Structure 1
Amino acid sequence: MSETSGTPGRRRPYRRALVAVLSTLGLAALAATTVTPTATAAAPPPPSGWTQVFVDDFNGAAGSGVNTANWQYATGKGYPGGPANWGTGEVETMTSSTSNVALDGSGNLRITPRRDAAGNWTSGRIETNRTDFQPPAGGKLRVEARIQMPNVTGAAARGYWPAFWMLGAPYRGNYWNWPGVGELDIMENVQGLNTVWATMHCGTSPGGPCNETTGIGGSTACPGATCQSGFHTYRMEWDRSTDVEEIRFYVDSTHFHTVRENQVDATTWANATDHGFFIILNVAMGGGFVDAFGGGPDAATVPGHPMVVDYVQVLSAGGSGTTPPPTGNRDAYSAIQAESHDGQSGTMTESTSDTGGGQNIGALANGDWALYRGVNFGSTPARQFYARVASGAGSGVSGLVEVRLDSRSSAPIGSFAIGNTGGWQSWRTVPANISSVTGTHDVYLTFTSGQPADFVNVNWFNFGR
């Protein structure tokens, strides 16, 4: 893996680490056991003090696909414009075919790797549509799934890499800002070993404060039945209620790994955690993590063993809000912090040196956007737009900051052009005239340029009459 870097805050390294060899493990064959997976009727009810903010029990007709109101398929050999082979060297092609991703009619999702007669592998990868999973301020977030790993061991398991994990929201639509935007691996496994790995990725790669491409990881054996022969519940608890923020990982009731805020510098932690995340379920074949334990897939690998998922559930507890933060009721005439968006594509979040501190959004280039729901303009028309912006763009690089209402396809109601301001943290407030606006609207900031380079950061914006 290599790193592309420029000025501070503009790092765009390859995504998704190759988790390091945490200990020397042999690949002795484990006896395969045929087990008929069973599902609970539903995800367990939230414990006292917790609120359910997302759940999918994967109930549905056998052979049907996932609920696309909750999930989207990631297909091919990588994201459009992103690194090849998902940035990890895995060899499969991800598909949306029900031969790879399907409900089984008994309350389970099955993600099944398959190999065709020519030796080509296919598999499945699904991601939540939502990208806003994070703890409320002063509260906790719990993300869990009940999963049976592919029930295959020994030589037949060579190349298998099932995972249940999360990526920072700024990654969606960018694909080159890993690991700075954060990755939380709740469950990873390779080669049919009776081991679950959990890891946080952050900072820069290679090396950096989070020891990339290894990350900050831990592992343990599955308690009771092996990871392959039975269901286990894999859980992450992200806790902002403690003096030092921490992220804890569990298998069933066994707590086996913790990452604490004070293990890295404040900027690294903020860049990795001060935003929402989305959830991913996939089974890769091959790749760097697999290579660390002997490689594969090869001629001995047996296709067709699914990762079986009973449910995925997200819970929130305590704090000063819920997950996600309440939307709507934004005052158009007060500063709207750019990082408080309700949706985005292509942005990253970083600490700002601007007056008042906090965060700004950056890495903004042609086609990127951010959404702010429920902005109230009142009954007296707004006619001005103000944005706090900075740019370290190269000579001749510039673009438009545009305001659109209610849809990204709406015509802009106003815009201004911006180029180099003296640096990515050299801030100025730029005004623009806009068409008269009253009432309450969803506001989109869109970024348009005639070239692909980043051209602006945004700290906050508001409107005037």
Structure 2
Amino acid sequence: MRSRRLFTASLAAPLLIAASLTVVAQASAPPPPAGWSTVWVDDFNGPANTLPSGANWIIDTGHGYPGGPANWGTGEVQNYTNSTNNIGLDGAGNLRITPRRDGAGNWTSARIETQRSNFKPPAGGVLAMESRIQMPNVTGNAALGYWPAFWALGSPYRGNYWNWPGIGEFDIMENVNGINSVWGVLHCGVNPGGPCNETSGLGASRACPGSTCQSGFHTYRFEWDTSISPQQLRWYVDGQQYHSISQSQLPADTWSNMTSHAGYFILLNLAIGGAFPDALNGPTPRAETVPDRPMVVDYVAVTQKGGGTTPPPTSPPPGGGGSAYSTIQAESAQQQSGTGVETTTDTGGGQNLMQVGNGDWALYRGIDFGSTPARQFTGRVASGVGGGASGLVEVRLDSRSNAPIGTFAIGNTGGWQSWRSVPTNISSVTGVHDVYLTFTSGQPADFVNVNWFIFGH
């Protein structure tokens, strides 16, 4: 939600002020369909006038992240607070985010994001992010500047607020100015322009089925499907698909940059003003814009189906072998020098190579790259090294003395179990090869843990 597009399909909607309606929440999120399992859920059940669970949510405050772009990068005008005047449970199973305006015309509202930032599909499976929401019940001139959203950002955005849109953004539900329409958008690649047409993104919109988006609850859902090739992203409202993007529509490096990291965190917010509402009916907000109309959220749920754990148990057998395009567990090396193993807290569990340093190496025999050249390598790594130390993770074929086909640098990631997926380009590879991971550093300290790695086209 960093900057926005101009869609015209919904502009024919009449700008009329809606009457206030009573909203009814479900007691809890519905059980997942057959074949799906729940990864994470918040039903927002709790006493009225209390904040959402601190175990589940971070409450963002102010006009931007520290060191990040002003006005959250979108031009929105409100100040986000952690006051129950702007955000809180209502005691009836809802979270309400309510914009307020003081006597001087200053707006406040709220924005939250999940503590977890590793939501992604199991390899070969499907992940869904879903919420049942009633948009602010206001339309017409009274709604000008309202910008509610339910969305997700790639985890590398945390702490580095200038790597958008390469890390990926899934806008699952956006709406502006009280128009009876839901927008679903993908942001990726580079800004401006690039394969995702930034800053607009690749989007679609439609009216809410049945009741308007503003007058009733609707279910907004996003699915990331890795069970098919090419992979697919899909957007739904009340179970009706209205937008999809295929992996084949984007360059391989663009897709990898937004999918090979640890995953995504989910956000809910209600902005006032900014690039998107201004593009349709700007400038906003105006004197006619009314405060105090909340976005009402019944639940947020993350579910998955298919696949295995993340990463899946697809390591080569003890004697070697296996596909370069299946996840290779680092601890499955047939030979190694200088490394040990330990239990990992990374998603999927298992073990990792631990505290690897200069001169260490690990060998994976008989890895099959097939006839289509592999051009990318992604390693799942973590580091708690101190003193500004860092090192190189190198990929070599058939002999440790051969030149690396690919390399990436890694320093402290925040801890020996603070994991991130790091992609790098490699020289084209086909056929069957022994793969060596070698590690080089100018400092004597161990500098990296490795959980798994995978190759890509």
TM-score scaled by structure 1?
0.73
Shift of 1:47: 1.0
Measure the CA separation in 2 of the matches of 1:23 and 1:223.
Answer: 16
Alignment of 1:359 with 2:378, yes or no, is: yes
Measure the CA separation in 2 of the matches of 1:162 and 1:182.
Answer: 19
| Number of the residue aligned with 2:110 | 124
- The code of the aligned residue for 1:111 comes to I
SS at match of 2:67: coil
Alignment of 1:278 with 2:270, yes or no, is: no
The 5-angstrom pairing of residues 335-414 of structure 1 reads 357-359=376-378, 371=382, 387-388=392-393, 401=411
Deviation string 1:191-221 (CA, Å, 9 cap, x unpaired) is 0000000000001111111111111100000
Deviation string 1:92-117 (CA, Å, 9 cap, x unpaired) is 01111110010000000000000000
Deviation string 1:331-372 (CA, Å, 9 cap, x unpaired) is 32889xxxxxxxxxxxxxxxxxxx9831369xxxxxxxx747
Measure the CA separation in 2 of the matches of 1:403 and 1:200.
Answer: 27
Measure the CA separation in 1 of the matches of 2:10 and 2:51.
Answer: 39
Deviation string 1:25-68 (CA, Å, 9 cap, x unpaired) is 14632351321111111100111111101000001110000101
Shift of 1:425: 8.7
Unaligned runs of 5+ in 2: 312-345, 358-373, 385-389, 396-408, 419-423, 428-437
SS at match of 1:166: strand
- The code of the aligned residue for 1:289 comes to F
User: Which of 295, 300, 306 in structure 2 is aligned with 1:318?
Assistant: 306
Contact 2:219/2:237 (CA < 8 Å) preserved in 1? yes
Measure the CA separation in 1 of the matches of 2:154 and 2:26.
Answer: 30
SS at match of 2:376: coil
Measure the CA separation in 2 of the matches of 1:251 and 1:402.
Answer: 41
SS at match of 2:248: helix
Shift of 1:76: 0.5
In structure 2, relative to structure 1, the CA distance for the partners of 1:93 and 1:291 (3 Å cut) is: same
User: Which of 101, 105, 120 in structure 2 is aligned with 1:134?
Assistant: 120
Contact 1:163/1:187 (CA < 8 Å) preserved in 2? yes
| Number of the residue aligned with 2:342 | none
Shift of 1:424: 10
SS at match of 1:107: coil
| Number of the residue aligned with 1:308 | 296
- The code of the aligned residue for 1:209 comes to P
Question: How many residues are matched?
Answer: 369
In structure 2, relative to structure 1, the CA distance for the partners of 1:404 and 1:19 (3 Å cut) is: closer
| Number of the residue aligned with 1:299 | 287
- The code of the aligned residue for 1:329 comes to Q
Contact 1:111/1:308 (CA < 8 Å) preserved in 2? yes
Measure the CA separation in 2 of the matches of 1:231 and 1:138.
Answer: 32
In structure 2, relative to structure 1, the CA distance for the partners of 1:358 and 1:298 (3 Å cut) is: same
| Number of the residue aligned with 2:316 | none
Contact 2:355/2:448 (CA < 8 Å) preserved in 1? no
Measure the CA separation in 1 of the matches of 2:441 and 2:88.
Answer: 51
SS at match of 2:142: helix
RMSD: 3.3
The 5-angstrom pairing of residues 209-228 of structure 1 reads 209-228=195-214
Shift of 1:429: 2.2
User: Which of 299, 319, 327 in structure 1 is aligned with 2:349?
Assistant: 327
Measure the CA separation in 1 of the matches of 2:217 and 2:355.
Answer: 52
In structure 2, relative to structure 1, the CA distance for the partners of 1:149 and 1:403 (3 Å cut) is: closer
In structure 2, relative to structure 1, the CA distance for the partners of 1:25 and 1:444 (3 Å cut) is: same
User: Which of 220, 228, 243 in structure 1 is aligned with 2:229?
Assistant: 243
- The code of the aligned residue for 1:166 comes to A
SS at match of 1:17: coil
- The code of the aligned residue for 2:288 comes to A
TM-score scaled by structure 2?
0.74
| Number of the residue aligned with 2:135 | 149
SS at match of 1:293: helix
Deviation string 1:247-277 (CA, Å, 9 cap, x unpaired) is 1000002110001111111101111122200
Unaligned runs of 5+ in 1: 1-14, 336-354, 362-369, 374-384, 391-398, 409-422, 436-442, 446-457
In structure 2, relative to structure 1, the CA distance for the partners of 1:116 and 1:259 (3 Å cut) is: same
| Number of the residue aligned with 2:92 | 106
